[in-house]
Amino acid sequence: MKPYRAYLFDLDGTVYRGNKPIPEAVMALREMTERGAHIAFLTNNSSMTPEQVATKLRAMGVPADPEQVVTSSLVTAAALREEMPGASVYAIGEEGLLAALRSAGCRFDDERPDVVVVGIDRRLTYEKLAKAALAIQRGARFYATNPDRALPSEQGLLPGNGALLAALVTTTGVQPRVFGKPEPAFVHYALKRLGVPPQEALMVGDNGQTDIPAGARAGTDTLLVLTGVTRPEDVQALPVAPTYVAANVKEWWER
Amino acid sequence: MKPYRAYLFDLDGTVYRGNKPIPEAVMALREMTERGAHIAFLTNNSSMTPEQVATKLRAMGVPADPEQVVTSSLVTAAALREEMPGASVYAIGEEGLLAALRSAGCRFDDERPDVVVVGIDRRLTYEKLAKAALAIQRGARFYATNPDRALPSEQGLLPGNGALLAALVTTTGVQPRVFGKPEPAFVHYALKRLGVPPQEALMVGDNGQTDIPAGARAGTDTLLVLTGVTRPEDVQALPVAPTYVAANVKEWWER
């Protein structure tokens, strides 16, 4: 096993599944932390704040500070702060997105915002979709935290942010600018925070369609773990070949 | 002007725009009715009952009985009654759809329905989308009253049923069976009610993508009126050429 200075970890399917930790990942993360590796957690989930994510990880036995957590909401808000400081936004989303936009200095405006930002919102209503659609037609930019089509749950797949986006694209004919993985900007943002160049970092994730391309396009090595959505028989057909494939994080770590 | 035994009228964009009657259409419809023509109104709008539509038309001066009104909800419910009598359904929709399903003898079941039926619902919530998506994943058939992407309003385009469908297709990967125009079954249903064969009927509508193909595929002649969504410059590029094109219904009627 080649050691890296930094490890960028996807969360759902990699470190935990829903509310259940994946023990091999927890074990490896504890060892990596003890050895002084830089670790960041990168999640497309826009609904939670970094504080909430860190609390969840610590409850599972993973050493984690909020500063190590990068959500698609943070990356979206950071782009807004950089490109359109003080922009007014209409947001569909949960606490993680609203808090990130507030911290980035955005003003909220339902009627004539500069930007419509859409993340998963399990309190979605028709009225929210209508407001977003009308604002986009009035010329607001259309930003999306992440493109995930569905949220896995114990009962089955629930509508993901990609489903909300599809409704708005169908209504308006306008495509959103998307920030989450597989966009490499997400990985660059995390690396910049850690102060580590891409060639010294490993992106670790279970999703061959998002985690692996995001890392590869950002210039990191990549480790695909088979603890989540990618099945062994899918590996050959992935759009980007991972640097490593392993049953789980610990199996790779002990090589 | 060649007279027909039956006229099938689209509503929004043809007879009225939102809540405003189109005077030329109202005038022609009064004359057609006086001369004893068979008239039916065919709307993809699944939200209203035939009684509500007839009341709206009469308030605009158009002679109309509920029996003359065919909605996409009625056609969807009729197909269910014929193909799956007594089926259990989970429905997303407004009063027009719920009433049609009740009249067709459907039972309502949120959890394990035989069929998920989706029509426009301006009280849509995330929970409704989630229930529909889970039922489809458990094997329920996926039916849609109509594919309209957007609802025109004074403020702009609001999400139409096609937007709701896009969210569910994105989540589940399953395509719905769609009943509204441009499906010719809609026109056949109306003609059967009137007891008139297609070659003696004229389908009248403003939408070259839905009304005209629905009539043409059902075997009627077609009149495209330019009082709604189709602009004069769009006529050449339509998927199906209308039999007639006119500025409005009266202009054609007086030829």
In angstroms, what CA-CA distances link B97 with A37, B46, B78, B91?
59, 6, 11, 8
- Provide, rounded to the nearest whole percent, the portion of chain A with pLDDT above 70: 100
pLDDT in tens, A232-253: 999 999 999 999 999 999 999 9
Nearest to A133 among B127, B133, B158 (CB): B158
Q: What integer best gives the mean pLDDT of chain A? A: 96
| Mean pLDDT in residue range A212-225 | 98
| Structural domain boundaries in chain A | 6-44+181-253, 84-178
Does position B153 have pLDDT exceeding 90, yes or no? no
CB contact under 8 A, A121 and B125: no
Q: Is the ipTM of this complex over 0.90?
A: yes
Spell out the residues 6+ positions from residue A178 whose beta carbon is closer than 8 angstroms to its own.
A143, A144, A145, A146, A147, A165
Mean pLDDT of A114-124: 98
Q: Do B157 and A168 touch (CB under 8 A)?
A: no
Other beta carbons within 10 angstroms of residue B184's beta carbon come to 18
pLDDT recorded at residue B2: 76
From A8, A40, A11, select the one nearest A227 (Cα to Cα). Answer: A11
What was the pLDDT predicted at A9?
98
Give helix B211-218 / helix B184-194 axis angle, nearest 10°.
Answer: 60
Residue of A nearest to B131 (CA): A158
Predicted pLDDT at A18:
87
Clarify whether B12 is annotated catalytic: yes
Q: Do B170 and A163 touch (CB under 8 A)?
A: yes
Q: What pLDDT score was predicted for residue A246? A: 97
B148 interfaces chain A, CB cutoff of 8 Å: no
Mean per-residue pLDDT, A170-178: 97
The mean pLDDT value for A182-187 works out to 94
Q: pLDDT-derived band of residue A153, with 50, 70 and 90 as boundaries?
A: confident
pLDDT digits (tens, 9 = 90+) for B45-67: 999 999 999 999 999 999 999 99
Confidence of residue B1 (pLDDT cuts 50, 70, 90): low
Which element (helix H / strand E) includes A17? strand A16-17
> A84-178: same fold as A6-44+181-253?
yes
Question: Do residue B129 and residue A124 have CB atoms under 8 angstroms apart?
Answer: yes
Residues contacting A185, CB < 8 A, separation 6+: A75, A79, A179
Distance from CA of B209 to the nearest CA of A (A): 16
Amino acid at A73: S
Residues of chain A in contact with residue B123, where contact means CB-CB under 8 angstroms, are 125-126
**Chain A residue with minimal CA distance to B124?**
A126
Correct CATH for B6-44+181-253 of 3.40.50.1000, 3.30.420.10, 1.20.960.40, 3.40.190.10: 3.40.50.1000
CB A50 within 8 A of CB A75: no
Instruction: Please give the Cα distance from A110 to B124 (Å, whole number).
Output: 19
Of B12, B121, B211, B221, the catalytic one is: B12
pLDDT of A64 above 90:
yes
**B229 lies within 8 A of chain A by CB:** no
* DSSP letter for each residue of A68-100: GEEEHHHHHHHHHHHHSTT-EEEEE--HHHHHH
> CA of A63, closest CA in chain B: separation in Å?
34
Find the DSSP H helices in chain A. Answer: 23-34, 50-59, 72-83, 95-103, 126-137, 161-172, 184-194, 211-218, 249-253
Mean pLDDT of A1-16: 93
Distance from CA of B163 to the nearest CA of A (A): 4
Cβ of residue B158 closer than 8 Å to a chain A Cβ: yes
In angstroms, the CA B109 to CA B126 distance is: 18
Q: How far is CA B101 from CA B41, B86, B187, in A?
A: 20, 10, 20
In the chain, the amino acid numbered B157 is L
B170 and A158 in contact by Cβ < 8 A? no
A10 as an active site residue: the answer is: yes
pLDDT band with cut points at 50, 70 and 90 for residue B154:
confident
Q: What is the mean pLDDT of residues B118-142?
A: 98
- Both structure tokens of A11: 């969360």
Q: CB A130 to CB B158 under 8 A? A: yes
Chain B contact probe: residue of A127, A170, A172, A175 with most B CBs at under 10 A:
A170
Selection from B253, B212, B206 nearest residue B4 by Cα: B253
Check if B168 contacts A (Cβ < 8 Å). Answer: yes
Quick one: pLDDT at residue B152? 84
Residue A1 has pLDDT above 80, yes or no: no
Task: Please name the fold of domain A84-178.
Answer: Rossmann fold (3.40.50)
Residue A2: what pLDDT?
Answer: 76
Write the pLDDT tens digit of every residue in A18-59.
Answer: 899 999 999 999 999 999 999 999 999 999 999 999 999 999
CB A106 within 8 A of CB A77: yes
Say whether residue A134 is in contact with chain B using an 8 A CB cutoff: yes
Q: What is the mean pLDDT of residues A1-12?
A: 92
Shortest Cα distance, chain B CAs vs residue A200, angstroms: 36
How confident is the model over B78-93, as pLDDT tens digits? 999 999 999 999 999 9
Fold (CATH) for B76-178: Rossmann fold (3.40.50)
